[in-house]
Amino acid sequence: MPGNAKTLTDQDAHEANAQWGGRFAGGPAAIMQDINASIGFDKALWRQDIAGSKAHAAMLAKTGIISGEDARAITEGLDQIGHEIAAGMFEFSTALEDIHMNIEARLSDRIGEAGKRLHTARSRNDQVATDFRLWVRDAIDGLEQQAAALMRALARRALEHAATPMPGFTHLQTAQPVTFGHHLMAYVEMLARDRGRLNDARRRLNESPLGSAALAGTSFPIDREMTARALGFDRPTANSLDAVSDRDFALEYLSALSIMAMHLSRLAEEIVIWCSAPFSFIRLSDAFTTGSSIMPQKRNPDAAELVRAKGGRITGALVGLLTVMKGLPLAYAKDMQEDKEPVFAATDAATLCLAAMDGMVRDLTVNEAQMRAYAGSGFSTATDLADWLVRVLKVPFRTAHHVTGRLVGKAEAKGVGLAELSLAEMQEEEAGITQDIFSVLSVDSSIASRTSPGGTAADNVRAQATHWLDTLGAQK
C-alpha cells in the first residue's frame, strides 16, 4: 500500500490528544502506541473508508443533520485524500492509530470545521465494521472470479483428455481405470462448491452496520436505509450491539477460504506425485518448477508445494480469529482489531494459490503412454471381471468377488495380468466362464463401460466438461 506510517513525535502526541479531546491530558507511552496502532495494516481499508464516509456525509445532509455545503466540502475533501493515497503522497501517522482517524484528521486539515462534522452520528465501531464488510465483499468478488477461471482451465484440459486413461486410486493404490479428464472434473465440482460457499458468505455479510454508532444506535434522525443502498448493501443490520461486535462474516469467509485451500492443496499434492519420476504422469515447464543447488538433474514442482503449504496458513488464519473472538463479551473490544491481519493475509495467499494453480493446469503436459500403462497395473480391471460374473452368469456379487479374488491371486503368483490367464485357468475357479470374459478386461473396455451418471466414460466426461464451460461462459 502507498505511504508509510511515521513514528511518534511530540507533535504526533499532541495530534492524538487533540483527536481524543479533553479527556486525556497527556500523550500515550511509546509502547502503548506500538500495541494500539493498526495503521500499519488497516490502511488497506482506505477505499472502503472513503466510500463509507461519503455515503454517511450525503445522508447527514439529506436528513438535515449537517448542511449541504458541509457535505459537499466533505465529499470533495475525501476525493482529494483518495487521490493522495492512490498516488502515494499521503503520510500515514501512527499517532492517529488507524485509517479512520488518519483520513478524518487529514480531512479537517483540508476543509476545516466541516471535516469535524463528518463523525456525527457514527462511531469508529460501526465505521470499521462497515469498512471491513465492504473489503471482504470486494475480496469475495475477486476470488470468486479467480475460482471460475481455474474451473474453466480444468474443464478445458478435461475436454482435451476425456478419453485419456489413467489409474484411479483408493488408498493411493491402483483401484480402477479412469480418465485424466474425469479426474480433473472432480476438482471442477469442488471449486463449484467453493464458489457457492463464497457467494453464501457474501449474501449473509451484505448488511450495513453504519449508523449503529458505538453500540446503542444514535439519537440523531439518520437514514440507515439510505446509507445501506449507497454502499450496495441489501439492508441495514437489525441490532446495533450485534452490528458492531459481529465478525461472523470474516469467520465465514475464512472458513470458505480454508475449504477451498484444502481442495487446492489436494490438487497440488497430486501434481507433486504425478511429476515424480516413479509416476511421470505429467511434466511442468520451467515456468512452474525450480532446480536444485547441488543436484543438476532436479526439476522441483515448487509452485505446487507452496500452494500445498499456504493452505496451512489460511486454515491458521481461521483458527486464529476464532480464538480471538471466542471469549469476547458484547459489544466491541480492542481485541477485534486483530481481525484484519489474518483476513488480509489469507486473502493474499488464496489469490496467489488460485493464480498459481491456474497457471500449472494450463502449463502441464501429459505423458499419456505412462498413464495408460499404469491404468492397467495392479489388476485394475478385477471389478469388471466380478461384474461380468454377476451380469452374465448371474452369480451373487459376493460369490463373484471371491472368485475374482482367487483369480487375482493366481495371476499374481504367475506374474501376469488377469487378461493373460488362459480360459482354462479361469474355468478352474468358475466353470461357467467363457471366452467373452476377455472383452471386459482391457483398460479401454473398463472405462467405456462406466456410463452411469457421474461415471468415467469418455462421453460422460465430455458432456460434463462442456456443461461447465457453457455455464461459465467459456470458449471451448
Whether 373 maps to a domain, the answer reads: no
Whether residues 113 and 130 share a domain: the answer is no
Whether residues 187 and 322 share a domain: the answer is yes
β-bridge partners, 176: 168
CATH of the domain at 110: 1.10.275.10
Instruction: Of 204, 337, 353, give the one whose Cα is nearest residue 266.
Output: 353
Whether residues 156 and 113 share a domain: the answer is no
Q: Is 408 exposed, middle or buried (0-12, 13-18, 19+ CB in 10 A)?
A: middle
Distance (Å, whole) CA 240 – CA 207: 12
Residue 294 neighbours by CB distance under 10 Å: 6
467 part of the active site: no
Distance (Å, whole) CA 402 – CA 84: 77
Please report, for residues 133, 139, 284, 314, the alpha-carbon distance to residue 47 in angstroms, rounded to integers and kept in the order given.
12, 13, 39, 24
Cα dihedral sign, 259-264-267-273 = negative
Its pTM stands at 0.90
Phi, psi of 93, deg, nearest 5: -110, 125
Could you report the per-residue pLDDT of 241-299, keeping only the tens digit for each? 999 999 999 999 999 999 999 999 999 999 999 999 889 999 999 898 877 667 767 78
Whether 60 maps to a domain, the answer reads: yes
Whether residues 323 and 194 share a domain: the answer is yes
Give the cell for residue 448. Answer: 467405456
pLDDT value, residue 403: 95
Whether residues 144 and 92 share a domain: the answer is no
452 part of the active site: no
Whether residues 383 and 436 share a domain: the answer is yes
Whether 106 maps to a domain, the answer reads: yes
Domain boundary among 365, 398, 423: 365
Give the cell for residue 231. Answer: 454502499
Q: Beta strands 165-170 and 173-179: pairing type?
A: antiparallel
Whether residues 333 and 397 share a domain: the answer is no
Whether the Cβ atoms of residue 85 and residue 2 lie closer than 8 Å to each other:
yes
Whether residues 321 and 410 share a domain: the answer is no
Whether 408 maps to a domain, the answer reads: yes
Burial string for 95-128 (b: 16+ CB within 10 Å, else e) reads bbbbbbbbbbbbbbebbeebbebbbebbbbbbbb
Whether residues 306 and 386 share a domain: the answer is no
Please report, for residues 41, 76, 395, the alpha-carbon distance to residue 92 in angstroms, rounded to integers and kept in the order given.
11, 20, 79
Domain boundary among 365, 388, 419: 365
Instruction: Of 406, 404, 370, 196, give the one whose Cα is nearest residue 283.
Output: 370
Tell me which residue has cell 452368469.
Answer: 393
Whether the Cβ atoms of residue 57 and residue 66 lie closer than 8 Å to each other:
yes
Whether residues 310 and 453 share a domain: the answer is no
Whether the Cβ atoms of residue 377 and residue 174 lie closer than 8 Å to each other:
yes
Distance (Å, whole) CA 154 – CA 241: 45
Whether 286 maps to a domain, the answer reads: yes
Domain boundary among 313, 334, 365: 365
How many distinct structural domains can be found in the chain? 3
- The angle, 0 to 180 degrees and rounded to 10, between the axes of the packed helices 302-325 and 248-275 is 160
Distance (Å, whole) CA 476 – CA 470: 8
pLDDT value, residue 22: 52
Q: Can you give the length of the chain in residues?
A: 476
Residue type, 248: D
Distance (Å, whole) CA 418 – CA 388: 14
Whether 81 maps to a domain, the answer reads: yes
In eight-state DSSP terms, residue 411 is H
Whether residues 190 and 76 share a domain: the answer is no
Whether residues 52 and 76 share a domain: the answer is yes
CATH of the domain at 269: 1.20.200.10
**pLDDT less than 50: residues of the chain:** 1-3, 5-10, 13-14, 16, 476
Please report, for residues 150, 154, 282, 335, 350, the alpha-carbon distance to residue 359 in angstroms, rounded to integers and kept in the order given.
9, 11, 14, 39, 14
SS3 221: coil
Q: Print the domain residue range for 305.
A: 124-160+179-199+232-365
pLDDT value, residue 291: 73
Distance (Å, whole) CA 246 – CA 229: 20
Whether 210 maps to a domain, the answer reads: no
pLDDT value, residue 54: 98
SS3 137: helix
Of the listed 67, 276, 292, 439, which one is catalytic?
292
Distance (Å, whole) CA 289 – CA 286: 5
Whether 275 maps to a domain, the answer reads: yes
β-bridge partners, 300: 290
Distance (Å, whole) CA 282 – CA 462: 21
CATH of the domain at 393: 1.10.40.30
